[in-house]
Structure 1
Amino acid sequence: MVINKAYKFRIYPNKEQETLIAKTIGCSRFVFNLFLTKWNDAYKETGQGLTYNTCSAELTQLKKELVWLNEVDSISLQSSLKNLAEEFSRFFNKQNHAPCFKSKKNNVQSYTTKHTNENIAIVGNKIKLPKLGLVRFAKSREVDGRILNATVRRNPSGKYFVSILVEVEVQSLKKTESSIGIDLGNTDFAIFSDGRKIDNNKFTSKMGKKLKREQRKLSRRALIAKKNGFNLLDAKNYQKQKRKIARLHERVMNQRDDFLNKLNTEIIKNHDIICIENLNTKGMLRNHKLARSISYVSWSAFVTKLEYKATWYGKTIIKVSKWFPSSQICSDCGHQSGKKPLEIRSWTCPICHEHHDRDINASKNILAEGLRTLALA
């Protein structure tokens, strides 16, 4: 099976390369915002927007007027137009909101360039990128497949990364003739139908005190800067503290991402059929008592990773309806009792008198319902 796969590496540009990256990001943002304005104006006047080809032709003329646009990678500017056209296409298909203007204050600061004539390549411990030349990077693994494009990103922490998108062929994993049901929770991140429980590491909570302390420092430095009449963008102490907080958030994000990747890879390797509840995460986030803990555990990210890896390696994901009463049914005799409050973590079936752990029982019921759904399909 041929798939698109991304490899992410940290890069270490020198001062000149950092300046060029900043210019490229700024020019890409300028082009995106300029043509978004033109697109909106055209839609108001004619009831129709522009097209990518029209914008591309205008960009060629614009580069003759604004010569500083020629200092950066031309493909990155074309990529901005293509992204704008795709965002409008998805908007008109009711897949997302209308495109909005980009700001230099946004957390995501990046640009994308396309692979043409070997302008993107791995050369030893360096990566070749258009205009930048050879950039030192942390080569943690080999890049397999045909390179399609590269996205250079500057994080709020001040670190630089490159994501290389490749086209590669993957082989299906060996069949294990095993199936598993998974119930997702807060106290335990995942509960398997075989009785295993995966601890919720609570990466954000563990960093909570330190984050609060550093956030208070940031607030004090903001007040001092305003008192002295400085713009926050020009206040060096404020910006230094802001990067420190960004590094803490980045560490938490990396820890959680590593945990999710390792867990779902292990599940995919060891099971052919994975049954999981189709959770209404958006609806659950409206519960103010649970919203914070639900957002921290990253259920949506876990399920998304599980789905695309299952597609890659020939495994089956079955989503059980969110209305299925997995916690109310006895997994032994099938008797359905009434709805139970969240504080009840174990219960005894009044018919067969089997004592159940609430979450393990739910995961067994999810597995049974998933297999039943698969048999009917």
Structure 2
Amino acid sequence: MAKRAYKYRFYPTTEQAELLARTFGCVRFVYNSLLNWRTEEFQKKQRRIGYCAASAQLSALKKQPELAFLNEVSCVPLQQCLRHQQVALKNFFEGRARYPTFRKKRIHQSAEFTASAFKYRDGELFLAKSSEPLNIRWSRALPSAPSTVTVSRDATGRYFVSCLCEFEPHALPVTPKMVGIDMGLKDLFVTSDGVHTRNARHTAKYASRLALAQRRLSRKKLGSANRAKARQKVARIHARITDCRLDGLHKLSRRLINENQVVCVENLAVKNMMRNPRLSKAIADAGWGELVRQLQYKSAWAGRQVVAIDRWFPSSKRCSGCGFVMDSMPLSVRSWVCPQCKAEHDRDVNAALNIKAAGLAVLALGANVSGTGQVPVSCSQ
């Protein structure tokens, strides 16, 4: 059995919207208050606050008369936000993430409910302190009763519910087809079979509309109702870009997993590449990291394999025919001729062929030769 989140949009009633607004506000208040307290304790006394101490502090806050509003909502989302904060701090102290930041009011809001704070009965979902079920647009049936439910509201005011359920993944039939992909900006990726997949460039498509909406927003008076409306228009354009990008990546990753038994990719350092001021916006719009992430978890469900080769492997400079490695290969060079075997290469197709060969070597040997020695790589299956 595996776990999978199923996300749906829902339309709350006026009473449910008010309850959720209070819940989001209380979760945000508790998270920010406890984070501020933990930060001060660490800075002044070098004391790390654990979950038990933070939970006791929450109980003390709820007993204060001026904070009685914390008792008007379910206590489960408040406890869950402390658990999430504990994980964020653990990741920071172990060097895996940055220090957690305070939550803001006008961006994404969420609250997590465990099994004790909701009821799922006959295809209807009831949240704690709410007598009516959520008006959910069930696009597909849940495979089982959810173990946790996360209710969220994005910057545009849309409401979503994410149900974490157990399901039985079914492996796809074994196929002999294997592919290597070289990711880029002009083409989102090029396969070792010579197939070029166009980069949709969603941000550039909506750039003029976004610029106009942002200019109008900048002219509105701070705190006015018109500024709030203009902010919503900007948020809707950003949401549209995000939805289009994710929809395209899901379709492409599903196609790659369905058609190939093994998918070989590069282990790119996307965060480091984003430091390039000229290419950062285009790299972010391409979504390379999200594409690889989707390939990895979908391959695990389908019984496929995704192999990530070493990022320093010279896939573009190496001749896929004879193995000759060029001294340099600027980005402006899109095709080249091997000085040794005189083979003509398309830069991206040649790189995809080398990535495929290196990935198959990883499956056979468990390591990848990058030119500097044996380097371990990741393999998802």
Provide the TM-score with structure 1 as the length reference. 0.91
Measured in 2, the distance between the counterparts of 1:320 and 1:243 equals 42
Q: Find the counterpart in structure 2 of residue 27 from structure 1.
A: 26
Query: Which residue is 1:343 aligned to?
Result: 332
Q: Tell me if structure 1 keeps the 8 A contact 2:202–2:241.
A: yes
Say whether residues 1:354 and 2:353 are aligned partners: no
How far off its partner does 1:109 sit? 1.3
Number of the residue aligned with 1:316: 305
Which runs of 5 or more structure 2 residues have no equivalent in the other structure? Answer: 367-381
Asked whether the equivalents of residues 145 and 169 of structure 1 are also in contact (C-alpha less than 8 Å), the reply is no
2: distance between equivalents of 1:51 and 1:284?
A: 36
Aligned mate of 2:352, from 354, 358, 363? 363
- Does 1:83 pair with 2:84? yes
Q: CA deviation at 1:158?
A: 1.2
Distance 1:289 1:40 in 2: 36
Alpha-carbon spacing, 1:49–1:335, altered in 2? closer, same or farther (3 Å): closer
> What's the offset of the Cα at 1:276?
0.7
Could you say which residue in structure 1 is the equivalent of 2:97? Answer: 96
Unmatched runs of 5 consecutive residues or more in structure 1: 226-231
TM-aligned CA deviation for residue 4 of structure 1: 2.1
SS at match of 1:120: strand
Structure 1 window deviating more from structure 2 (144-153 vs 58-67): it is 58-67
CA distance in 2, matches of 1:33, 1:246: 24
> Which AA in structure 2 matches 1:79?
Q
Asked if 1 retains the 8 angstrom alpha-carbon contact of 2:120 and 2:145, the reply is no
Q: Which residue of 2 aligns with 1:18?
A: 17
Do the aligned residues in 1 keep the contact of 2:55 with 2:79 (CA within 8 Å)? yes
Q: Structure 1 CA distance, aligned partners of 2:4 and 2:261?
A: 22
CA deviations on 1:330-363 (whole Å, 9 max, x unpaired) are 2122222332221221122233332221111110
Q: TM-score, normalised by structure 2?
A: 0.90
What is the distance in 2 between the residues matched to 1:61 and 1:341? 62
Q: Which amino acid is 2:325 matched to?
A: Q
Correspondence 1:139 to 2:138: yes
Q: Quick one: distance in 2 between partners of 1:317 and 1:356? A: 25
Identity %: 38
* Total equivalences in the alignment: 363
Q: d(CA) in 2 for partners of 1:147 and 1:276? A: 34
* Letter aligned with residue 355 of structure 2: I
Q: 1:219 deviation in Å?
A: 1.2
Q: Tell me the distance in 1 between the aligned counterparts of 2:30 and 2:272.
A: 37
Q: Which residue of 2 aligns with 1:59?
A: 58
Calculate the aligned-residue CA RMSD, in Å: 1.8
How many angstroms apart in 2 are the aligned matches of 1:42 and 1:163? 35
Structure 1 range deviating more: 319-328 or 62-71 = 62-71
> Does the alignment pair 1:181 with 2:170?
no
1:208-250 deviation digits (Å, cap 9, x = unpaired) = 11111111111122xxx1xxxxxx3x31111111101111111
Report the 3-state secondary structure (helix = DSSP H, G, I; strand = E; otherwise coil) of the residue aligned with 1:334. coil
Separation in 1, partners of 2:111, 2:141: 23
Query: Aligned partners of 1:364 and 1:49: how far apart in 2?
Result: 50
Aligned to 1:347, what secondary structure does the other structure show?
strand
Rounded Cα–Cα distance in structure 2 between residues aligned with 1:335 and 1:98: 45
Cα offset for 1:61? 4.2
Q: Distance in 2 between matches of 1:57 and 1:286?
A: 42
Secondary structure class of the residue paired with 1:116:
helix
